[in-house]
Structure 1
Amino acid sequence: MADRFAWTDGQLHMGEIIIATQTGVSIQDGPEKTAYQKGTITLTSHRFLWKDNTSQIELPLSYIVYAEKKDASLTSKAKIVSIVSSVQAPKRSGPFISSRYNEIQFEFKDGGCNEFLRLVQDELVKKRWLLEPIRPSASTSGREYRGISSIEQNMHHQLNVQHQSISGAFQDLNKLMEQAKDMVYVSKAISAKIQEKRSDLSSDETIRFRSYLLSLGIDNPITKESAGSKYHIELAKELATVLQKALKDTNGIMTLSDAYCRINRARGFELISPEDLLNAAVHMEELDLPVRLRTLSSGVKSFELANRNEKKDMQEIIALVNASKSMSAGELANQLGIPISVARERFVAAENSGSLCRDDSIEGLRFYPNEF
């Protein structure tokens, strides 16, 4: 609905701020081109402002339901498609008398579409145009703000906007944490039901309940408040419990970075830092846990099962290479489900033992059976 555009002098309203500006933007009424081509578009907290050498128009963000990207084609550049509300708005003087479409397209001929769209969507979520602007005091009523007084009023309004945004963010965070606690209670209830009625549950029901628990994560994560000075020791035990199950699905080894992501995903809102993970991991061996921390020759740190049989693993790799005639680290990683860095490490160990040899060419590094 391009008829929602109105003429403007481009002056900012009280409390309105400029977000972004992009040149080389053309306006389309739905799929139809208009006379407004390759102008400069400005996104503010309240409006779209578009201008060229002869005219300047505006489109309030309050008219827009949502915005999305339309990818570039052979005949056009990337576009932002803004779907406009069908609710009737007060008619203002503008360049378009009427429109048949419920969308307005902005074609970005000089690039910048992705970042501009992100900012537009952010403003549509914030809806800052709904905030009540600061009213002038009685002593200045009827006069236009100018100079320092105007700057102070605008700064005060922006601080209010930021304060409301931050307050809203913390309220949302508190709600999320409350919901996460509810999820923990649910997971405990499911776990208790499995223990109490294990004999009454069918295999399908057991699998379904266990999938629920896996999706919920750790039901009672260790925290610094609950463990005190023994935090890293208790955290090491928790890590071993969680990683032992995961390592069985990754051929007995996992990089430190992969483990960090898995642990924090399982812990939910009680996240740990990389330092806490490493400080806890160094206690695993002294506690005789089923998982241990190992540093590969490449310097990469990894977790592995304490009972992993390295000789058996090497024999398996040699058999795979013999069967395939040759393999790369990427092929071994895909076949065994292990990281490429670990696959390369195991190839090098087999090479050092004299079982494999390498060919490093422009096609990449490959390992072959050592027939010499």
Structure 2
Amino acid sequence: MAFSEYWVNSADAMLPGERVVTAADLVALYEEKHLVHGRGLLKLTNQRLLWIGPQVFSMNLDKILSTSFDAGTWTKSEKIIVAVSSELTFRLSFRGGGCKDFLQRLEAALCAKEWLYGVARKGHGIGIGGIQKKIQTRAEQTDLYISAAFEDLSNLMASAKDMVELSQKLMVKSKDKGLTDDETVQFRSQLLSIGLTEFGSQVGYSGDNQLQQEIICVLLPVCESSSGMISLTEAYCRINRARGLRLLSPEDMLAALERIKHPIKLTTFTSGLRVVQLSSLDESAWKDKIVSLIEEAGSLSAEELATCLKTSAVLALERLLQVEGCNRACRDESVNGLVFYPNRFLEGKTA
């Protein structure tokens, strides 16, 4: 039995700093559903549960993980279930009543956690003066933390400014005639000083294939949940959010996307807008779907189509322009904006 691991033989005497909160008579102790000790007096102090019968046992409140109430039946007494681990509970059976009041006071004592204050409090720190002293001490500690944080932030901003200037200089030089070893070492040391370990495509990637796989892993689920395509801007933000501090430059991302053909690919609309889309996307089926949506609604704006497709208004407008380019929709421009209607002219009908 695990009873002795939690309930220890004790004396009916208070510890230093301990006080009685409440008590109940005729309380039996159970380990799970097995009776361990019959009727006795159960005391609740601010530090322990104290059971007094033929023997005296006590359990520290800090061993209790949770408590619950068992209403019992007309043949069984009300009980408090005390959980000390995920696999072990003790039951306190109140055969003389008072279970709910005892449980309420027990839960209050567990929330107060007075045993954390220690047993050696001799009155100092008590009262208005003690409270004011604690508040003052905490305020001083907070000021120190804030000062240190702003000092670190100032240092980081200064380092970031130097980094920007150095990176711009190195970018221009790398395009002209490449970097020297000394300049590369200088840039790496600047990165390490602010906690970064990689930069750009010069030192960060173990290979193009690895970068392409990383891009596919990030963008494929996004495209699948966004009507098959996302804008290049959103793709760039998604990738760098996933990479954390290992930021990817726009040039490197664009170069990698141009080499990826499956399962996603880079596509350019006639307007010049570039998107990342699923390679398996059936353009003809998509145009049929958009025409169907226009006919069902009577008319659609880019914002309305974006809501239907769960995509951006920019991509929705490009979709509508594609359908218009196939003569399957007509536009109406007014002060209310641009709206697209089904093309009834091809059907030989009047609107």
Q: Structure 1 length normalisation: TM-score?
A: 0.41
The structure whose Rg is larger is 2
TM-score, normalised via structure 2 length: 0.43
Q: Which has the higher contact order (CA 8 A, sep 6+)?
A: 1
